[in-house]
């Protein structure tokens, strides 16, 4: 193991160099399968309840597409920067990798900030969590996604600190790799939220 | 690669700390078994109380409220806290051995899964002491389970207890999928895997794709109850039928999560004690996959009377009947395996052979219920109660008893007493059919399920008495099993590696119980029924696939226990509107994750000269 402990001896794809690493990546893909079902169910509940706005504002009055579009672009860009981080991982450029990870979580923070601002605006417009079945389903679905983003930021932040302490090794590389897959996943979920919640809310 | 990490000191615990910190799949299997049997006894006691109440008409042994609590807790406990962990016990005890692995893919998560299940189950059952017991049925239908009709904390215990226990189940599903895909011994292709391994592989996939649905359902119900959300509040635009859909989209695959492992156990035992290769192995695999696939397409057959319309009912009706085809394939494969075999009637094989006709009866009533127009008659009657007990007790519990008797020597190094085992079988088998066979006719006569009493002279009286007598007989069977366990405990550990002498799969090639690293050398698998093949070729042991060398082991850890206690505290905090306690609980759990991430476990190595210490040959 010690032969691979330092960057100079790392294999090209250090994340799959050990059985532990391969297990971690496979297990994480399976976990994302479960997460897909989780969000699928939240989407189903939202689709079943979205017309039941009661006395609250209708989605077409509520949603401000320019801001949501900006949030979408921020999150999509962060997915790109996490790809750059993994490329840096494969070429063993530790500093570049940490740099791209930092950009990724900064963009994530930007997205989260916009979402918090958006939610507080909605509450001011009378669209609270308990207003209607639509509002409960909306906040639960979008909130679950936001909680995933927040968790991802904390997680990747912790990994950056670990990289400084432990260096890039066959132990730390799989962690970076699965956090990148996770980040792509929450990005894909957001693409569906943008379409199903916001675009369909505007036209449907 | 392995000869370097010697500098890491070996952390070893003994006694209680060993069990609290273990990441060894064999010990976790034993923990699952003890916890599962414990909850099985609680659920069984609840069943006995239900049957005493229904023993005679106009009985007032328990009040109507208590009766509702008993049926809710009986169903919930038996399914989530008895059946599932007993399956996880056998999965843990057997799967790594059957595929020639030294442990599961994620030993730490394995431990975490056990402890979250345990504390979820504990929280749910503590409701008895808080005098706030869930009483909305194991399906917890809204609006009955909403704040309007269940204002106490009872349903909160259900929602939060199951949520925490569900995390453990999901982790187990992910773990065993990854283990079976990545950790098989060299030469063990997918189509050489033992049937039990296949069954657990498919079960794990079902868990991964079904449990998150329950997670969302429970979150929605929890938000409705604790934070005044409106998912199921019709007055604010919510939809009660949505709960039924969510519950059964999870709930129907859950039924297959329960029965698939039993299919696997029966396949192993029928083949071993017929001394024959399993008939139609590849059709068995295909049938398992097909049942799992169809299992996701039939949930609305639980909702025929909701009013989904004739088209939906017809489609779900046909899809449900289709499942009888692959299930029939399995039944005939077992019969053809027995056909012409030199059958040994051990306790395990008695349970397996008793399973076959019993499960067929449950399957036949299943097809009857699948017919939507007929279901309007059977719905919510004792006919349904008889049906699902035939598939769950007659299927799964027979399977678990068969599996426990079969693998007991592998788990503990001691053979269970065959005489007591046969008493267990005959009392449990007879008691089971006495209890539930008459319930078909009670249902057809019109006795509704979930009623706490009934009036005399409707033709219900005698059959209810018979049913109650049967329930006591099942209780005696269970006591005989426990007696067997305690008596065996005092006996020496002298089970042979191939304890039944007719073992076919890899678990029978290593000592009973196995050393903590399982296989000194990873075996080379040369065909289906790998061990039987070697024996038929005149070999006394497996061909090793690697030289003897130091074996890498994961370190024990207390973190899974701490994280689960954190969730337990958080559950209580949120339930009683104390957000500070809830937050502290979550922080403990997140802190556990933090420690696990920051402090890497390098494990330790067992050197070749230490590998035979304490191993019973």
pLDDT tier at A90 (50, 70, 90 boundaries)?
Answer: very high
Could you report the per-residue pLDDT of B531-550, keeping only the tens digit for each? Answer: 999 999 999 999 999 999 99
Q: Which two tokens stand for residue B383?
A: 């006919």
Say yes or no: A54 contacts chain B, CB-CB below 8 A.
yes
Q: Which of B477, B403, B485, B486 is nearest to B44 (CA)?
A: B477
Nearest CA of chain B to the CA of A28: how many Å?
A: 8
Residue among B208, B224, B236 minimizing CB distance to A54: B236
Say yes or no: A42 contacts chain B, CB-CB below 8 A.
yes
State the Rg of chain B over Cα. Answer: 24
Q: How far apart are CA B334 and CA B338, in angstroms?
A: 6
Mean pLDDT for B513-518 is 94
Mean pLDDT of chain B: 94
pLDDT tier at B610 (50, 70, 90 boundaries)?
Answer: confident
Could you report the per-residue pLDDT of B288-304, keeping only the tens digit for each? Answer: 999 999 999 999 999 99
Q: Which residues contact B357 (CB under 8 A, 6 or more apart)?
A: none
B97, part of any domain: yes
Say yes or no: A156 contacts chain B, CB-CB below 8 A.
no
pTM over 0.90: yes
CATH code, domain with B146: 1.20.210.10
Instruction: Tell if the CB–CB gap between B209 and A1 is shorter than 8 Å.
Output: no
Count up the domains in chain B and report the number: 1
Report ipTM (2 d.p.). Answer: 0.94
Q: State the pLDDT at residue B319.
A: 96
B588, part of any domain: no
Instruction: Tell if the CB–CB gap between A23 and B178 is shorter than 8 Å.
Output: yes
Mean pLDDT for B240-259 is 96
Q: State the pLDDT at residue B613.
A: 74
Preferred mutation among B102, B182, B237, B605 to probe A, highest tally of A CBs within 10 A: B237
Nearest CA of chain B to the CA of A66: how many Å?
A: 29
Q: State the pLDDT at residue A9.
A: 77
Judge contact between A143 and A197, C-beta under 8 A.
no
Residue among A2, A133, A159 minimizing CB distance to B230: A133
B574, part of any domain: no
Q: Which of B353, B367, B361, B352 is nearest to B386 (CA)?
A: B361
B589, part of any domain: no
Q: Which residues contact A55 (CB under 8 A, 6 or more apart)?
A: A126, A131, A132
Q: Which residues 207-266 of B have a C-beta within 8 angstroms of A? A: 208-213, 215-217, 219-220, 223-224, 227-231, 233, 236-239, 242, 245-246, 249
B593, part of any domain: no
Q: Which two tokens stand for residue B517?
A: 């690293």
Q: Which domains does chain A have, with CATH numbers?
A: 16-203 (1.20.120.80)
Q: How far apart are CA B92 and CA B78, in angstroms?
A: 20
Range of the domain at B75: 5-557+601-610
| Helix axes of B347-370 and B324-338: crossing angle, nearest 10 degrees | 150
DSSP state of B8: S
Quickly tell me which residue has 């453990």 as its tokens.
Answer: B168
Q: State the pLDDT at residue B616.
A: 57
Mean pLDDT for B355-373 is 96
How many other β-carbons are positioned within 10 Å of the β-carbon of residue B376? 11
Q: State the pLDDT at residue B8.
A: 52
Q: State the pLDDT at residue B602.
A: 87
Q: State the pLDDT at residue B210.
A: 97
Say yes or no: A195 contacts chain B, CB-CB below 8 A.
no
B577, part of any domain: no
Q: How far apart are CA B472 and CA B47, in angstroms?
A: 10
Say yes or no: A41 contacts chain B, CB-CB below 8 A.
yes
Say yes or no: B6 contacts chain A, CB-CB below 8 A.
no
The per-type count for chain A, helices as H runs and strands as E runs, is 7, 0
Could you report the per-residue pLDDT of B314-348, keeping only the tens digit for each? Answer: 999 999 999 999 999 999 999 999 999 999 999 99
Mean pLDDT for A8-30 is 90
Mean pLDDT for B415-421 is 96
Mean pLDDT for B178-201 is 97
Could you report the per-residue pLDDT of A31-83, keeping only the tens digit for each? Answer: 999 999 999 999 999 999 999 999 999 999 999 999 999 999 999 999 999 99
| % of chain B residues with pLDDT over 90 | 94
Could you report the per-residue pLDDT of B222-231, keeping only the tens digit for each? Answer: 999 999 999 9
| Number of Cβ pairs < 8 A linking chain A and chain B | 124
Say yes or no: A140 contacts chain B, CB-CB below 8 A.
yes
The CA–CA distances, whole Å, from B354 to B162, B345, B361 equal 32, 11, 11
pLDDT tier at B481 (50, 70, 90 boundaries)?
Answer: very high
Q: State the pLDDT at residue B609.
A: 86
B162, part of any domain: yes
| % of chain A residues with pLDDT over 70 | 96
Could you report the per-residue pLDDT of A103-159, keeping only the tens digit for each? Answer: 999 999 999 999 999 999 999 999 999 999 999 999 999 999 999 999 999 999 999
Nearest CA of chain B to the CA of A173: how many Å?
A: 13
**pLDDT surpasses 90 at B552:** yes
């Amino acid at each position: 193991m010690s032969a691979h402990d330092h960057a100079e001896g790392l294999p090209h794809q250090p994340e799959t160099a050990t059985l532990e690493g391969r297990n971690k990546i496979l297990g994480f893909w399976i976990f994302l399968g479960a997460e897909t079902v989780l969000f699928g169910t939240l989407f189903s509940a939202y689709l079943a309840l979205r017309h039941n706005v009661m006395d609250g504002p209708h989605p077409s009055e509520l949603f401000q597409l320019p801001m949501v579009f900006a949030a979408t672009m921020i999150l999509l860009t962060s997915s790109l920067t996490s790809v750059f981080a993994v490329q840096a991982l494969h070429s063993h450029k530790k500093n570049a990798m940490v740099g791209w990870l930092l950009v990724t979580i900064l963009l994530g923070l930007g997205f989260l900030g916009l979402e918090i601002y958006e939610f507080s605006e909605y509450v001011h417009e009378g669209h609270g969590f308990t207003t209607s079945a639509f509002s409960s389903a909306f906040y639960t679905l979008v909130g679950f996604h936001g909680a995933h983003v927040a968790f991802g930021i904390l997680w990747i932040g912790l990994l950056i600190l670990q990289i400084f302490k432990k260096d890039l090794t066959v132990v730390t590389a799989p962690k970076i790799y699965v956090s990148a897959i996770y980040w792509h996943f929450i990005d894909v979920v957001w693409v569906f939220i943008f379409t199903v919640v916001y675009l369909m809310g505007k036209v449907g | 690669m392995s000869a370097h990490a010697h500098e890491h000191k070996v952390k070893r615990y003994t006694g209680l700390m060993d069990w609290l910190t273990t990441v060894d799949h064999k010990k976790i299997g034993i923990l699952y078994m003890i916890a599962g049997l414990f909850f099985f006894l609680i659920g069984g006691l609840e069943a006995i109380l239900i049957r005493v109440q229904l023993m005679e008409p106009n009985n007032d042994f328990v009040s109507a409220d208590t009766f509702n609590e008993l049926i809710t807790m009986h169903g919930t406990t038996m399914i989530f806290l008895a059946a599932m962990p007993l399956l996880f016990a056998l999965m843990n005890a057997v799967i790594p051995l059957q595929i020639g692995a030294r442990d599961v893919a994620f030993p730490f998560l394995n431990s975490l899964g056990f402890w979250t299940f345990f504390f979820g189950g504990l929280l749910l059952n503590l409701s008895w002491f808080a005098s706030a017991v869930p009483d909305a049925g194991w399906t917890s239908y809204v609006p009955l389970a909403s704040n309007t009709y269940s204002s106490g904390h009872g349903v909160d215990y259900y929602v939060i207890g199951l949520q925490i226990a569900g995390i453990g189940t999901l982790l187990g599903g992910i773990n065993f999928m990854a283990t079976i895909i990545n950790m098989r011994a060299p030469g063990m292709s997918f189509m050489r895997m033992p049937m039990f391994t296949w069954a657990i592989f498919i079960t794990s996939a079902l868990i991964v794709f079904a449990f998150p649905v329950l997670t969302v359902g429970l979150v929605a119900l929890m938000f409705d109850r604790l934070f005044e959300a409106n998912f199921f509040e019709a007055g604010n635009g919510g939809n009660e039928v949505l709960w039924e859909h969510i519950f059964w989209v999870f709930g129907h695959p859950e039924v297959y999560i329960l029965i698939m492992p039993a299919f696997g156990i029966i396949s192993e035992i029928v083949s071993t004690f017929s001394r024959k290769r399993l008939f139609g192995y590849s059709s068995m695999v295909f049938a398992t996959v097909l049942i799992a696939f169809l299992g996701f397409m039939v949930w609305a057959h639980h909702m025929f009377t909701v009013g989904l319309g004739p088209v939906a009912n017809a489609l779900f009706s046909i899809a449900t009947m289709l499942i009888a085809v692959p299930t029939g394939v399995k039944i005939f494969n077992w019969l053809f395996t027995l056909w012409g075999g030199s059958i040994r009637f051990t306790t395990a094989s008695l349970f397996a052979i008793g399973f076959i006709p019993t499960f067929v009866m449950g399957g036949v009533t299943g097809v009857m219920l699948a017919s939507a127009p007929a279901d309007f008659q059977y719905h919510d009657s004792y006919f349904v109660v008889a049906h699902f007990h035939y598939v769950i007790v007659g299927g799964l519990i027979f399977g678990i008893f068969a599996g426990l008797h079969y693998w007991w020597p592998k788990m503990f190094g001691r053979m269970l007493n065959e005489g007591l085992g046969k008493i267990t079988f005959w009392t449990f088998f007879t008691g089971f059919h006495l209890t539930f066979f008459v319930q078909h006719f009670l249902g057809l006569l019109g006795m509704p399920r979930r009623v706490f009493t009934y009036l005399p002279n409707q033709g219900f009286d005698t059959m209810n008495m018979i049913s109650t007598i049967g329930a006591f007989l099942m209780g005696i069977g269970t006591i005989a099993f426990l007696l067997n366990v305690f008596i065996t405990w005092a006996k020496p550990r002298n089970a042979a590696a191939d304890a039944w002498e007719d073992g076919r799969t890899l678990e029978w090639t290593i000592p009973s119980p196995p050393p903590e690293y399982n296989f000194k050398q990873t075996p080379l698998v040369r065909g289906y029924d790998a061990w039987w093949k070697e024996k038929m070729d005149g070999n006394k042991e497996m061909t090793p696939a690697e030289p003897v060398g130091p074996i890498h082991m994961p370190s024990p850890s207390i973190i899974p226990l701490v994280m689960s206690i954190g969730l337990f505290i958080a559950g209580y905090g949120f339930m009683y509107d104390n957000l500070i306690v809830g937050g502290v609980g979550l922080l403990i759990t997140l802190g556990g994750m933090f420690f696990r991430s920051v402090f890497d476990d390098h494990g330790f190595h067992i050197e070749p000269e230490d590998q035979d210490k304490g191993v019973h040959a």
